[in-house]
Chain A
Amino acid sequence: MSFMQINDLKVHYPVRGGFFNTVIDQVLAVDGITMEFERGKAYGLVGESGCGKSTTGKALIGLEKITSGSIIYEGENVTNKRRNRKSSFNRDVQMIFQDAHSSLNPRKRVRDIIAEPIRNFLNLTPKEEERKISELLEIVGMPEDAKLKYPHEFSGGQKQRLGIARAIATNPKLIIADEPVSALDLSVQAQVLNFMKDIQNEFGLSYLFISHDLGVVKHMCDHISIMYKGRFVETGTKADIYTNPQHIYTKRLLSAIPEVSPVGRENRKRERIRVEQNYQAEHKNYFDENERVFDLLQVSNTHYVASTSQVKGVL
């Protein structure tokens, strides 16, 4: 059973202008998405820049005001609730940020950075706190003496691991990871991804993995949603998306990913051009006249695609 449901989540930004600075338009950053989270699963949110994937993550954790829709956490409605130290939602949902460097306070020591969620949510004596911090540093594979250092003394991969240590300090159920490895080099990226998988297996964590990198998402996630202009165009299991993509936008995205093999690259280029032509030709079947993505239709048990009902017969 899912422990958290999101229903028809919308985040709209007002655009002000004209006389008296009135609201003249809305930016529909997130425009009606529905999701469910189950324990121990990883969910991927993929899209190009500006599609609203990061806004979704921020809205979930409460850094962005939700315009309409609801977040139900273990039967309790937590939409737009003020942050509260007693709330189990705020303790159980944590975030890992893209830029590890700017997410760590440069004037605090590592000990105080990691202790912050502990001091906020857990009632521990100083001794217990100290032990907990050592434990967390051990989990992320950092030496004990890191405690007294400052963030600038660490490399990019180490900083990202500190960010992870902070996120898992309160034994959360869901971690929202917003592009956690995009700023890292390949070998360091591998290190962080391996590590995220390890702690997932160990603690039964769920992830919401926000990324533009389909290779990384495929490696990490069980369930993937493709986002475009604030809406889901396609959602399904990893196999649904990668072996049986239905929406033209998904197909276009998949065909654009460079493959790590020079064999057959001319064919791939021709295929890309074909998909692109198809995308232009079938555009009206998948987007309405305002470029808005249609509502999701069910294709199979797990697989949903946004299209008009006319196309459904073709699928």
Chain B
Amino acid sequence: MTNKLPIGIVIDDPGLCAIIVDKGRLYGQERGFSEAGPMDEEAYFWANWLCGNEESEPTLECIGSLAFTVNASMAIAVTGPAVKVVINGEECSSWKTHAVVPADKVVISADCPTAKMYVALGGKWLLKHVMGSVCTVMREGIGGLHGNGKPLVTGDTIPIRVGSIESKEVPAWLIPAYDSMKPIDVIPGYQVEEFLPLARRRFFSADYKVTSDINRMGYRLQGPAVSSKISNMRSEGINFGAIQFPSDGQPIIMLRDRQTLGGYPKIGCVAPYDIPRLVQTPVDGVVCFQERAADDARTNWLLARSKRVRYLTESL
């Protein structure tokens, strides 16, 4: 079927893992489908903006490196922390629009082997939606290029109806401060009252290390053990960024491909504006957390959003 469609790019080397993501599934969670979506929502958003795409257009989310050959004249953009973009052997900037033409060779890579890089292609991706989204969920075997949840492989072609090209650049002050050492905001909630005051204080004052046990489902951290008074509880809905503690007391932060229900006690949720920085923290990188009331967190989120919106309307 795909060979009749206009081809945007051909994957030469998918690197460690390259998948197709979009904004994720807004429905289906009540039936057990993961929300999915981009791990780093900021990088995803700006990649699409640079290509003049709709906000919900798919992008590639890749780890390690990615090499592809261009098959159409179109805009491309690459975002993520410290990403190197090489087009036909020449180094180019990330967070910037590039006009490419057929036969161009593009290679991207990141300093950090677990960094998530986003590649947007200017145009409409011609893919089959599953539950309102093309987002790849490997665990569920849904979404992606062939609808079966498989990551991209060498030789895969992305069908796309190309759009117009407009050169843009994301100003430095709108690129997430990935290296910031500021504590990550957590909105206390769920079973927070069931954690002993000492355990709670420990969690919000200690450093936690990002382990190598990290994926789109969740990030396991390592640090001082934190336990709650709960021995067993009923499974309940898990929101994005929820921090749960299995009996070993080591936190797991639940992310895009998290299961919909779970029964471990949770101390609260990471504020969405701090998730990009969290998920881009390298293995063995250290993070720490601070409590932030829901109202304050929402205010921070709205401020960040209005900063973005103001820039977008002014740059029109």
The answer to whether A and B come from one shared complex is no
Binding site for A on B (CB under 8 A): none
